[in-house]
């Protein structure tokens, strides 16, 4: 289980580093509001554990970021709005960031940058000259490079979030997402992500496609 007090401290540090410690209201209520969202009972994968993992990966990759504290704030907001049956979660999360961070005293340019980064998690396809986008997207996708047991737990949790979707429809939709990821020229854009995670992640994605009865490069298997 994630340490909620530690997460509150991490949010406060990121916000105060990005805006200045005396440049706005107490960060604690904003952290608590976000943690309430991340603990919604309908969540199975997009939980505080996922938030913690993404923040840990941002810490691991921070040397590549232009503004790592802005990236950390984007990590806090990137799945803050999460309804599995809705398609605009990233947009709604970005708008939440725009409202909350402006109120919390973050400068307008940095608030806009957080929102831009959140919206980037729709495609996970940052530009070559976007180091902050690369760090956030790599941190969010790092789960794909997990060892087999952790990857299996991840896929199980994702299926549980979509429990209301019939099996055939889920298999089709999940396969499309996996193919979209495999079609990216690179899953990971930071030097560390590319070296440490790319090969394992692609292996896991191809293996999951095969478990879904799909060929990694073709139509559904009939075998």
pLDDT, tens digit, for every residue of 129-172? 999 999 999 999 999 999 999 999 999 999 999 999 999 999 99
Cα distances from 158 to residues 48, 57, 104, 132, 151, in angstroms, run 14, 20, 32, 26, 11
Residue 216 in this model has a pLDDT that exceeds 80: no
- Tokens describing residue 141: 């996708």
pLDDT for the residue numbered 218: 46
Which run of H or of E encompasses 172? Answer: helix 167-183
Those residues with Cβ within 8 angstroms of residue 26's Cβ, 6 or more apart along the chain or in another chain = none
Task: Give the residue-averaged pLDDT of 95-108.
Answer: 98
pLDDT for the residue numbered 115: 98
Residue 209 in this model has a pLDDT that exceeds 60: yes
pLDDT band at 22 (very low <50, low <70, confident <90, very high): confident
Residue 23 in this model has a pLDDT that exceeds 90: no
Instruction: Report the length, in residues, of the chain.
Output: 223
HSE-CB at 121 with a 13 A cutoff on CA atoms is 31
Residue 12 in this model has a pLDDT that exceeds 50: yes
Task: Give the residue-averaged pLDDT of 185-203.
Answer: 97
Name the more confident of 2 and 83.
83
- Tell whether pTM > 0.75: yes
In contact, 148 and 107? CB cutoff 8 Å: no
Residue 102 in this model has a pLDDT that exceeds 90: yes
């Amino acid at each position: 289980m994630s340490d909620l007090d530690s997460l509150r401290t991490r949010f406060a540090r990121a916000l105060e580093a990005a805006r200045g410690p005396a440049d706005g209201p107490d960060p604690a209520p904003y952290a608590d509001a976000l943690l309430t969202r991340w603990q919604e009972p309908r969540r199975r994968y997009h939980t505080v554990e996922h938030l913690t993992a993404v923040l840990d990966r941002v810490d691991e990759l921070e040397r590549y970021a232009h503004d790592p504290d802005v990236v950390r704030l984007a990590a806090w907001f990137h799945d803050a709005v999460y309804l599995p049956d809705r398609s605009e979660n990233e947009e709604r999360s970005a708008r939440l960031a725009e409202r909350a961070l402006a109120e919390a005293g973050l400068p307008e340019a940095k608030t806009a940058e957080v929102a831009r980064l959140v919206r980037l998690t729709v495609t996970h396809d940052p530009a070559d000259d976007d180091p902050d986008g690369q760090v956030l997207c790599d941190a969010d996708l790092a789960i794909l490079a997990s060892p087999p047991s952790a990857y299996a737990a991840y896929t199980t949790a994702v299926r549980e979030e979509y429990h209301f979707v019939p099996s055939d429809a889920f298999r089709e939709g999940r396969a499309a997402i996996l193919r979209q990821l495999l079609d990216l020229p690179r899953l990971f854009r930071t030097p560390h992500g590319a070296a440490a995670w790319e090969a394992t992640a692609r292996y896991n994605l191809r293996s999951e496609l095969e478990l879904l009865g799909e060929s990694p490069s073709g139509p559904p298997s009939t075998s």
